[in-house]
Amino acid sequence: MNGLRWLREHLVLVLGLLVLAYTFVPIAVVVLMSFNAPASRNVYAFDAFTLDNWANPCADPGMCDALTRSVQIGLLATLVATVLGTLAAFALVRHDFAGRSATNLLVFLPMAAPEIVLGSSLLALFVATGFSGRLGFWTIFVAHVMFCLSFVVVAVRARLAGMDDHLEQAAMDLYATPLQTFWRVTFPLVFPGILGAALLSFSLSFDDFIITNLNAGTTTTFPMYVWGVAQRGVPMQVNVVGTVMFLVSVAIVVVGELGNRRRLAARA
C-alpha cells in the first residue's frame, strides 16, 4: 500500500519523467543502430553488433562531403550572424533611435514565419534576379545568416537587458576610457550571451532542411543527404553522426553548467 501512496504523491513527477523518457526513445534507437551490421539495405531491425560504422564513418564519401559542407556553412553563417546580431542587439538596448518598434518587429518576424514561406520567398528572389542557375553554397549561406540573425539579436539583447550598468559606471569613474570600459567590462559580461547565441546559430544552421533544400540547387548539406538516402536505404553511419551530435551538445551543456557553478561558487 505504501507504494501506491508514494505513487499518488509523486504522480505528476512520474508522468513527467515518462514524457522525458519518451523523448529519448529515438535517441536510444539512433545510438543502438550506430552499432548495427544490417543484413540488407532496408534496415528495420538490429541484426548484428559491429564497430565498423564507427571505424569507417566515411564509408559513403557522399555523407562526409555533405557533413563537411554543413560544418563550413554552419561556421561561416554563425560568424556573420553573431557579429551582425550582436551589433544590432547593442544598438537596440544601448541606443535610442526612431523606428525602434518597427526594428523589433522586423527582428521578430523571421522567427515567427513558417520556414517553407521564408525558403520560398528567398527562392522567388533568387529566381527573379537570375540566380536560379547559381544556387549553392553561397545562397545557402545567405539564407542561414538571415534566419540565425534574429535568434542572435534576441539572445544577446536578453543578456544585455539583464545587466545593470553599475560596473561600467564604476570603470568610468576610475577614469577608464569608453573603449577600455567596453573591452574590459562590458564585453566580458556579455560574452556568455554571445557564445550561447553562436552555439544556437550553429545548431540551427547545421540542422536546417526546409529553407536549405529550396535554395541549395545541386549542393548537398548533411540534412539533405539524409533526406536523399531515406528513399534508397540509410547507411548506418548516419546514426554515428547522430550519436556524435548528441554527445557533443550534451558535453557543451555540461561544460557550460560546470563553468556557471564555478563562477557562482567563486562569487559566494
Partner 1 sequence: MTSTAGVAPPVDVPGLPAEPPGELPPPTGRRRGGIGYLLLLPGLLWLALFFVVPFYSLVATSLYDPAGSDFRGYEMTWAVGNYVDALQEYWRPLLRSLWYGGLATVFCLVLGYVLAYAIAFKAGRWKNLMLVLVVAPFFTSFLVRTLSWKLILADDGWVVNTLQVLQVLGDDGRLLATPVAVVAGLTYNFLPFMVLPLYASLEKIDPRLVEASSDLYAHPAVGFFKVTWPLSLPGVVSGTLLTFIPAAGDYINAELLGSPNQRMVGGVIQSLFTDANDYPAAAALSMVLMVLIVVMVLVYVRRAGTEELL
Q: Is 156 in the site for partner 1 (CB under 8 A)?
A: no
**Closest distance to partner 1 from the beta carbon of 238 (Å):** 6
CA distance 56 to 51: 9
Please identify which residue in 6, 7, 10, 183 interacts with partner 1, judged by CB under 8 A: 10
Q: Is 112 in the site for partner 1 (CB under 8 A)?
A: yes
**Closest distance to partner 1 from the beta carbon of 19 (Å):** 4
Q: Which of 71, 60, 207 is nearest to 137 (CA)?
A: 71
Positions 75 through 104 that interact with partner 1 (CB under 8 A): 84-85, 87-88, 90-97, 101, 103-104
Binding piece for partner 1, criterion CB under 8 A, among 7-15, 52-60, 71-79, 188-196: 7-15
**Closest distance to partner 1 from the beta carbon of 248 (Å):** 8
Please identify which residue in 3, 44, 173, 267 interacts with partner 1, judged by CB under 8 A: 44
Return the DSSP state at 186: I
Q: Is 213 in the site for partner 1 (CB under 8 A)?
A: yes
CA distance 79 to 137: 16
Binding piece for partner 1, criterion CB under 8 A, among 20-28, 54-62, 71-79, 182-190: 20-28
Beta carbon nearer to partner 1, 50 or 146: 146
Please identify which residue in 117, 170, 255, 258 interacts with partner 1, judged by CB under 8 A: 117
Please identify which residue in 66, 73, 122, 171 interacts with partner 1, judged by CB under 8 A: 122
Positions 171 through 200 that interact with partner 1 (CB under 8 A): none
Task: Tell me how far the alpha carbon of residue 93 is from its chain's centroid.
Answer: 24
For residue 67, give Cα distances in angstroms to 7, 73, 160, 221, 224.
46, 10, 34, 6, 10
Residues 6+ apart with CB under 8 A from 33: 43, 46, 236, 239
Q: Which of 230, 227, 179 is nearest to 43 (CA)?
A: 230
Decide: helix, strand or coil at residue 108: helix
